[in-house]
Structure 1
Amino acid sequence: MDILLAFGSPGADLAVASGDLLTDDGLLTAVVVSLFTDRQAEPGDELPAGETDRRGWWADATLPKLAGAPDNIGSRLWLLRREKQLPEVVARAREYATEALQWLLREGRVDGLAVDAAIAAPGHLRISVALTVPGETLRTAYDYDVLSGVYRPTA
């Protein structure tokens, strides 16, 4: 069991009831952390205009190397900040989200993973995730404001 992240405005916070932290099976929390934590930019990635910080989590350096590459926490969705809403940018969003969630497959937390991205509104990407676990498919979707970095689950 993991601590449950509950959605509010903006983003997620720890869920509490009767003074106790609530828990869940960890999949929803894992998806939120994987998608909306800033992964370190790759050496060839172009940073958003005016930025020099490659971001990332300090503890990535301590994570094991899988298949010769470090296992990094988070996604590179933050790199899309200030990008135009073009089909190739939506394709990169899908790629970045899929990359961020691959660890769920590698570690056997899910049997299948499908990610889709689309323009939800001006300045907003919709990222939809379907996770297959034994006996069911869990679906969740988020609207992500690429300018502010704020995300909200969709209905």
Structure 2
Amino acid sequence: MTVISGAVLTTRERETLYRRAVVISLFSWRRALPSDVLDDDERMGWWGDSYPLRDNDRTGSRLWLLRRRSITSQTLADARQYALEALQWLRDDRMVSSLAVDVARNGLHAVRLTVTLDEHSDAPLRFEWDDIWRTIGRTIHAV
């Protein structure tokens, strides 16, 4: 049983709430750090991060930084790190007790990303994207 702000969520409500949080966290572009290597002058980022309510409170991920890289073991490791960084707020805000991210090559030109969230109050939730590589590229080119 999941309770958020005093409301008991159904299984469907719980999954919808967490899926939405994960999608926004992973596929909104966080502003690049000063130390990040850029392939152009655009640091991206959500404008609201210019005025965070808490220090270092940021929205989104830096997955977009990988958009022009080849799929190598280092790229996969960076994708995993960026995803963990983007989802860390779920642990910090005690929405989940643990989270896991798995990133793996999926064929020649795709990258699979799997997120598992555990609240200890219900069955773990698992969300999977078969090709985040295409998502990253399309989102960037659509902007």
- Residue 19 of structure 1 is matched in structure 2 by none
Q: Mapping of 1:56-95 within 5 angstroms?
A: 56-66=45-55, 70-95=56-81
Identity %: 40
CA–CA distance in structure 2, aligned partners of residues 37 and 79 of structure 1: 12
Structure 2: give runs of 5+ residues left out of the alignment: 5-11
Letter of the structure 1 residue corresponding to residue 79 of structure 2? A
The answer (yes or no) to whether the contact 1:65–1:71 under 8 Å persists in 2 is yes
Q: More helix per residue: 1 or 2?
A: 2
Q: How does 1:4-153 map to 2 (within 5 A)?
A: 24-25=13-14, 26-47=17-38, 49=39, 51-66=40-55, 70-133=56-119, 134-142=121-129, 143-144=131-132, 145=134, 146-149=136-139
For each residue in 1:98-139, what CA deviation from the matched residue of structure 2 results, as whole angstroms up to 9, or x when unmatched?
Answer: 000000000011111000101113332111000002121000
**Cα distance in 1, alignment partners of residues 83 and 76 from structure 2:** 11
Q: Is the 8 A contact 1:123 1:147 kept in 2?
A: no
How well do the aligned residues superpose, as a CA RMSD in angstroms? 1.9
Runs of 4+ in 1 over 6 A off after TM superposition: none
Q: The residue matched to 1:97 in structure 2 has which SS? A: helix
User: What is the CA–CA distance in structure 2 between the aligned matches of 1:87 and 1:59, rounded to whole Å?
Assistant: 33
- TM-score of the pair, normalised by structure 1: 0.74
Letter in structure 2 aligned against 1:136: A
Q: Name the amino acid aligned to 2:46.
A: W
